[in-house]
Chain A
Amino acid sequence: MSRHVIAPTREIPPGDHKLFTVRGRPIAIFNVKGEFFGMFNRCPHQGGSLCDGIVTGLVESKTPGEYAYSREGEFIRCPWHGWEFEIRTGQSYCDPERIRARAYPVVTESGETLVKGPYVAETVPVRVEEDYVVVEM
């Protein structure tokens, strides 16, 4: 693991995201309300470039006809098939609640209507050091 200084924080204002190459790998860096997060720029479905997707919030529903929208800016939709990933964790939303032979367990947390799927976009730890975005890889 080594430390890579990516860019000054002002280069990625809140709500924005940008693609960088770190150690030969494409990494998408997101600024969500002042916090920085990193994600390997490949959708785990078919490899779409997540950085070309659209940032959005989360719509949830407990019953048909209800569209409860919240968490604006915390999700990225893949530019291809529209799969939703939580930027903070890389966790996909909407997938069968089924145990598969995969690395990631399926979890439903109490109180949540959504089922998290075993598809996860690979995240990369990011921090800010004196106004610079830094990635550990």
Chain B
Amino acid sequence: MNVQVRPSVATATASRPAIADCDIHPAVRFDSDLNPWLPERWQAYRAEYGASRRLGMQAGPAYPKSQPNASRRDAWPPEGGRQGSSLSFMQHQHLDANNVTLGILNPLGSGQGVSNPELSAVICHATNEWEVAEWTGKDSRLKASVVVPYEWAEESAREIRRWAGHKDFVQVLLLSRTAEPLGNRRYWPIYEAAAEANFPVAVHAFGYGGAPITSTGWPSHYIEEMTGHAQSSQAGLTSLLVEGVFDRFPNLRVIMVEAGFAWAPSLGWRLDKAWKTLRTETPHLKEKPSETMRRHVWWTTQPMEEPEPRERLLDTIGWMGWDRLLFATDYPHWDFDDPAQALPLPISDEQRRQFFLENARAVYGVTA
């Protein structure tokens, strides 16, 4: 034979610039991986009754994903376990290959949205311990999110305070589909604790509030659910702005994660118009909502919109500000954005550095 057979390998790192990835999804290999930090009582509860959310199925969603675990088919670790569950494979396939110098962990399936509030809280806490023990403690490029049982705001605030100041944690993680809109006062203790700890609050698309992903009932298809994250994230962000959360917590920062970003300028224009006309309803808002967005809100880039011609995206980013965007891949999910392919546009070196790394370092307070 005059050819070689080789398993799929990623491109060599050497030529790749260092990047930040602001949305990585580590997974447990088995539920029992959390047992070291889960009281026996709750291990038993979970074994008997499961950790149900406001979803009908015991396992799997009623909108089946388009690929197993909604992940890339090439992300199964060679040693077994689900995609994202192997640090060594994640390092090989992604962190090393793509020269990720700063990776933000957003663990999903972590206890957030679990209907039993105490179970939700203990799984969240165990997840936070697991992030340190299995991930950030083993690879210093990785930083962790404080996962909180957000429907129980007081307990969430306690959990945030437990991790405040810990060198491995850089943000608080919420999901976007909450039982009530994110700006609702019931969630304010979370923002208070996050602001105190100087943690940005990341709002990741998805969640288990129990309501449809639209204001008009349940759509039929998975594609509608995926598209719908843009609408539910816009509604949550609107709530944060109009309820005056940023007025109440002036140093709060919010990051919208995995909902796309091109919707932001139009939402800002609409909010400004509505705020101006309806000024008397919201005397607590001291400035145009779009200006509040400009100072308090960031967006991760994935799934990046792909207009044709692609240059149109430069208009959008220009309207938002090049400092607002935090590059993310969503590894190991299927709608992954490859950093080498994601922004094939003629931009300045400065813009490229901001987009792929420096904005994230600034928001998370991580130096080179």
Distance between Cα atoms of A45 and B66 in the complex (Å)? 18
Also in contact, A19 and B338, with CB within 8 A (given A49-B74, A100-B308): no
Which residues of A lie under 8 Å from residue B337 when comparing CB positions?
46
Distance between Cα atoms of A98 and B340 in the complex (Å)? 26
Also in contact, A46 and B341, with CB within 8 A (given A20-B4, A79-B72): yes
Report the stretch among B5-13, B16-24, B48-56, B235-243 that lies at the interface. Answer: B5-13
B2 touches A4 (CB 8 A): yes
Which residues of B lie under 8 Å from residue A26 when comparing CB positions?
6, 8
CB of B313 within 8 A of chain A? no
* A71-120 contacts to B (CB < 8 Å): 79-82, 96, 98, 100
B342 touches A46 (CB 8 A): yes
CB of B263 within 8 A of chain A? no
Distance between Cα atoms of A98 and B307 in the complex (Å)? 13
CB of B73 within 8 A of chain A? yes
B8 touches A20 (CB 8 A): no
B7 touches A22 (CB 8 A): no
Distance between Cα atoms of A79 and B345 in the complex (Å)? 25
CB of B3 within 8 A of chain A? yes
CB of A54 within 8 A of chain B? yes
CB of B335 within 8 A of chain A? yes
B338 touches A82 (CB 8 A): no
Tally inter-chain residue pairs, CB-CB below 8 A.
68
B341 touches A19 (CB 8 A): no
- Which residues in A have some Cβ–Cβ distance to B below 8 Å? 4-7, 18-22, 26, 41, 45-49, 51-54, 79-82, 96, 98, 100
Which residues of A lie under 8 Å from residue B73 when comparing CB positions?
52-54, 79-80
Also in contact, A47 and B67, with CB within 8 A (given A20-B3, A79-B72, A80-B334): no
Distance between Cα atoms of A73 and B342 in the complex (Å)? 30
B8 touches A52 (CB 8 A): yes
Which residues of B lie under 8 Å from residue A49 when comparing CB positions?
8, 74
Q: Which of A4, A45, A80, A82 contacts B3 (CB 8 A)?
A: A4
For the complex with contacts A47-B341, A79-B74, 8 further pairs of A-B residues with Cβ separation under 8 Å are A6-B3, A20-B3, A21-B5, A21-B6, A47-B338, A49-B74, A80-B338, A98-B308
Which residues of B lie under 8 Å from residue A53 when comparing CB positions?
73
Q: Which of A4, A5, A51, A82 contacts B66 (CB 8 A)?
A: A82
